[in-house]
Structure 1
Amino acid sequence: MILIPIGTKAQLIKMAPVILALRERDLPFDFVLTGQHQETMEDLINGFGLVAPAYSLAAIDEADTSVKLATWLFKILKRHLRKTSIIAQKEYHFCLVHGDTMSTLAGALIAKRHGIQVAHVEAGLRSHSIFHPFPEELTRLMVSRLSSVFYCSGSTAIKNIKRLRNNADIVDIGQNTLLDSVRFALSEQFKPPHLSNENDRYCVVSIHRFENISNSKRLRFILESIQGFAQTIKVKFVLHAATRNKLIQGGWLPILEKDDAIELLPRMRYFEFINLISQAQFLISDGGSNQEESSYLDIPCLLMRQKTERDEGMGTNVLLSEYDPACIQSFLESNSEKPPRPAASLDRFSEQPSKIIARDLETRLNNKRTHN
């Protein structure tokens, strides 16, 4: 059986097509929640047509501060590193962890403790800087040490794993599983009407990373840049809960609310967000997943970060701002006046990364049954 611990919505978005592919091949698995975030995942579970989680590893909480995150991690490890853990009572052969969250690390540590092979999805991403981003880069390094199987999306990720583990068991899945998620989100059942005229032009902003919203000076710089963009094009600013809280604390929320060119939107369902950015003039974000989504859709993306661990879109549609005003202004001038257009078709991608993972796991499980 396969254990799939999920702690955040971002993880579930990228793992949903993998879960569907496992179900398609009739492979036994338990999709479980780690309790890291209290944000409901019901919309994603229903939207992707998934089964409900088998159980939770901890009471659902919102680990949205460093102290809360450390407390949650201590509790979950204390409970599930023991032989009395529900995980120890089941016959799991693989633990399929995803990405670089604390849930990824917790899942890998618990699985390793109980003799379960750790298979890492989205393995090999590196920014090569411990502090950009922190603690994600450190988490990636630790999970790479704990993993037995590495599902890598492309040559750069593979090289990064080989530098760390020369004889690593690597499977190249070609693209991130997010490609399958975007495909699903743009299917006929979620497809929106196309924009029709110049007045419909808008850009989308999504800023939520800790290194941006927790640094008042940097947050001010980003928000002032967004205000500058709003003088040229309508801005749809999607607010994560943590971002909204920081805007309230810093006195920014009423300022932005008064700007008629800035529309503040609550964080929306994944399918709605993909359709929103699919017709945007461009995207301003600090999220790695948004970088990937924009590269698949071929939408210009200004990445509000110092470094990125991903190759997708770099040198083509994605520009790393490095918080350089000249770079940001150049991006605005290059992309604000173009006519509206629909996102690029995903037909140019032949890869089906989620199905590659499912086929590989099926082979591994069959091999275990044969040897047993």
Structure 2
Amino acid sequence: MMTKLKVMIPLSTRAGVIKFAPVIQLMQQAPQDFEPVIVVASQQYQQLHTVLADFALTADFELAVNPAELRGRPDELSRLVHHLQTVVNAAQPALILTLGDSLATLAASLVGFYNRLPVAHVEAGLRTFDKVEPFPDEMHRQLTDTLADLYLAPTAAAKENLLFEHRTEAQIVVTGNPIVDVVKQCYQADYTSPLLTQLPPQRRLLLLTIGRVENTGLPLEGILRTMRDVVETNPDVELLCPMALDSRGFPLAQRLLANRARIHLVPLLALRDFINTAARSYLIVTDSAGTVEEASVFHRPVLLLRQNTERPEALFAQTTRVVGTDPTSLQQAVFELLHDKRAYRAMQNEDEALFGDGHAAERILAALQQHYG
């Protein structure tokens, strides 16, 4: 007989909530096998509650972190460790399930280690092998995998990274990435929204998303000016740029993009709106690794505004090209894909299972039961 597993799940980013949602929902559908303990531990407190509500989920513990009180990442890490320890004391979980590379993921892994609780890591094995790029994400995930006991790798390449680092076959399960589960659940071929009705179907849609801390100031200005110039010199193109209204970059984006013909600067889109808008786009320009995964489901070419990526599968499949933030490199890449049909088709890889087949959540739960049930 299987043991019912009480699983502590820390959530600290919007992307983390989205990726964990199908996992938590499946746990809730099997109450005889799983008892998820949802812990919100984030500066993005209200934003996370909104995303949780989209999936009809609620937090069991809320550890609001006030950014005004923090004195840098070391202070935030110590507070997260302290708060997560109080949750362990109160909830007495059997294991901790972490995801990705956030500071809360690292904190939860430390708490698991100090309490001799097993730690399972979703998205294990992602690597750039440059500890400061992206910063501090790469070091967070390497440290998390040092502390983890079960590695839920999204791809075979991630598994190879873990084996290279001397983890054993028995510790690793290739599950796919649960973001693909979410995309397949949310996509509708006949989807419509007020935003989509504003975008003329005869024009090619460029989707621009920028959210990383390093892409602010001068790098952001260069990106925005370049994309604005692309629109102005290509009358058959529309640009959509969703951005958080309270982000550092929004005032600059408003100054450079607002009230321009065929340019739409809008607040962050709801998940279903974003996925279905991305599916209708011609080209995606982004600094988000998660968007690279989402775009692969729809065979949309991606230009990545970073210096490297922990998702090399997209590079090998030629669905993603790393262009960095240099305006000249970005402009050349966009113009090539707008005007060279052969180059565009070469980036439309038809492999839907690049990052998973839509059943990652099922494999994650099966792995937890096999190892700890």
Aligned to 2:173: 171
Matches within 5 A, 1:129-148: 129-148=130-149
**Matched residue, 2:244:** 240
Mapping of 1:1-372 within 5 angstroms? 1-26=6-31, 27-50=34-57, 52-56=58-62, 58-62=63-67, 67=71, 69-81=73-85, 85-167=86-168, 169-173=171-175, 175-187=176-188, 191-192=191-192, 199-213=202-216, 216-231=217-232, 232=234, 233-241=237-245, 243=247, 245-248=248-251, 251=252, 253-314=254-315, 315-325=317-327, 327-336=329-338, 350=357, 352-366=359-373
Please report how far the alpha carbon of residue 68 of structure 1 lies from its aligned counterpart in structure 2 after TM superposition: 5.3
Partner deviation per Cα, 1:132-190 (whole Å, 9 max, x = no partner): 100000101110111000000122111111222333610111x21110011121158x9
The Cα RMSD (Å) is 3.1
Distance verdict in 2 for CA 1:62–1:295, change over 3 Å:
farther
- State the TM-score, normalizing by the size of structure 1: 0.85
Q: 1:198 to 1:183 in 2, by over 3 A?
A: closer
Aligned-partner residue type, residue 355 of structure 1: E
2:230 aligned counterpart, secondary structure: helix
**Aligned residue number for residue 344 of structure 2:** none
Note if contact 1:281-1:338 (Cα within 8 Å) is conserved in structure 2. Answer: no
SS of residue paired to 1:34: strand
| Alpha carbons of structure 1 residues 10 and 191: separation in structure 2 relative to 1, 3 Å | same
Letter matched to residue 75 of structure 2:
T
Structure 2: how far apart are the matches of 1:127 and 1:66? 29
1:305 shift after superposition: 0.7
Q: Which runs of 5+ in 2 are unaligned?
A: 1-5, 342-348
Q: Tell me if the contact between 1:37 and 1:62 (Cα under 8 Å) persists in the aligned partners.
A: no
Deviation at 1:110, TM superposition (A): 1.4
Q: Which runs of 5 or more residues in structure 1 are unaligned?
A: 367-372
Q: Distance in 1 between the 2:270 and 2:211 partners?
A: 16
- 1:76 Cα deviation after fit: 2.4
Separation of aligned partners in 2, 1:78 and 1:224: 44
- How far apart are the structure 2 equivalents of 1:28 and 1:297? 34
